[in-house]
Amino acid sequence: MESVQATKQRFGIIGNDPKLNRAVEKAIQVAPTDISVLVTGESGVGKESIPKIIHSLSHRKHGKYIAVNCGAIPEGTIDSELFGHEKGAFTGATQTRNGYFEVASGGTIFLDEVGELPLTTQVRLLRVLENGEFIKVGSSKVQKTDVRIVAATNVNMFEAIKKGKFREDLYYRLSTVEILLPPLRDRKEDIHLLFRKFASDFATKYKMPTIRLDSDAIILLEKYHWSGNIRQLRNIAEQISVLEQNRTISAITLRGYLPNIGSNLPAVVSADKNESDFSNEREILYKVLFDMKSDLNDLKKLTMELMQSGNTQQVQKDNEGLIQKIYQDKEEDIRFEEPIRQTPSELLEIPSQSTLQPKEEDKYHFAEEIEEEETLSLHDKELELIKKSLERHRGKRKAAAEELGISERTLYRKIKQYDL
């Protein structure tokens, strides 16, 4: 029997993870039989190489190998694609057509995303699996075929069965042997290995020196969640290979390429943050937004009254509670910002039309505060920008603020916030 190592080499499969090796070994073991195999695993884990291994190591290797993406064929034509149709079976069926199950007789059919098959097609497929029989669309003649079926899915089939989207009997027929490919995050040892392989491939492809990661970047790479698995890793290796001038990649640079790093990478964000902390943070964020909205409504009301009556004193009297609150909030803000001397009556000055528009810097605040919750890389980039600008202007805030395109006051707040 062909060895696992030799098979991996032949099919370009990188990695030494025991779970990966076990999957390849299982494929080798079942190949010579006609047993149906279901390959499971998240998107991008490399499911497509398993049916190829099985076909190539089987007695069917000189027969046809057809891969069908069940999720990509419209429901209306899938039966005809798989099983063929008779002339005149439907409008546009001007000729008899042979389906994949007829064409691939003696070979192997790979049904990718099998969970997407419509229920009616599932009935036809079950019949093929049970006795090798099928009927063309629009025909009444039963035909025979001899195909080996390997299917793959990245959806939880038990869920699909529970929801009535997938037939339980078909599931058991398809999954006589199940081969599970582990997600990349569970193959920590293989991550850097794969990255180096891709980096070297892309260096050749784009005729550039190979990128390499420094030690912190390697740690980050191995801690990342990789929800798109190997496909995502390959994609990021390609982007960095093309876009980065400096061929030694730091963790900060790498971070810029990893989406959702905040929620995907608890370990790097903070030593002991877990899922629930993040949902708490989200709740807090919602609450802040909610409070802001209600403050805004209060202010709108106040502004309207002021504009309508023009009698500052009366409005002030009618809205004592609210004004008190504004003043309090202002006091609290002052602790974080440069003191601004303002009395309650100054606060109540009717704003002119132009100041009613949100100021550029305020818009900037708002956007930035939401973004910060989402991507820490932005936060880091901002910190870096501010630091560099301050260095360039030898600590002169006014010049730095001008260069950064923010107000001096915002810069002052940032300096405090980041403890610069």
Ligand X SMILES: Nc1ncnc2c1ncn2[C@@H]1O[C@H](COP(=O)(O)OP(=O)(O)O)[C@@H](O)[C@H]1O
Residues in contact with ligand X by CB under 6 A are 12-15, 41, 43-49, 194, 230-231, 234
Q: Is the dihedral of CA 323, 328, 333, 337 positive or negative?
A: positive
137/221 with CB nearer ligand X:
221
Alpha-carbon distance of 298 to 301, in angstroms, equals: 5
Of all residues in this chain, which one has the CB nearest to ligand X in the complex?
A: 46
Q: How far is the CB of 51 from ligand X (least distance, A)?
A: 10
Alpha-carbon distance of 359 to 352, in angstroms, equals: 13
Q: How far is the CB of 40 from ligand X (least distance, A)?
A: 9
Q: How far is the CB of 249 from ligand X (least distance, A)?
A: 20
Beta strands 148-153 and 108-112: pairing type? Answer: parallel
9/342 with CB nearer ligand X:
9
Q: How far is the CB of 102 from ligand X (least distance, A)?
A: 26
Alpha helices in 265-319 (DSSP H): 266-269, 275-309, 312-318
Torsions phi, psi of 416, nearest 5? -65, -45
Show the tokens assigned to 195: 């990255």
48/159 with CB nearer ligand X:
48
Helical (H) or strand (E) element with 321 = helix 320-334
Show the tokens assigned to 149: 């079926």
Q: How far is the CB of 208 from ligand X (least distance, A)?
A: 20
Show the tokens assigned to 13: 């499969």
49/143 with CB nearer ligand X:
49
46/115 with CB nearer ligand X:
46
3/274 with CB nearer ligand X:
3
Alpha-carbon distance of 10 to 151, in angstroms, equals: 22
Alpha helices in 32-150 (DSSP H): 49-56, 75-83, 100-103, 119-131
CB 256 within 8 A of CB 381: yes
85/234 with CB nearer ligand X:
234
Q: How far is the CB of 234 from ligand X (least distance, A)?
A: 6
Q: How far is the CB of 307 from ligand X (least distance, A)?
A: 60
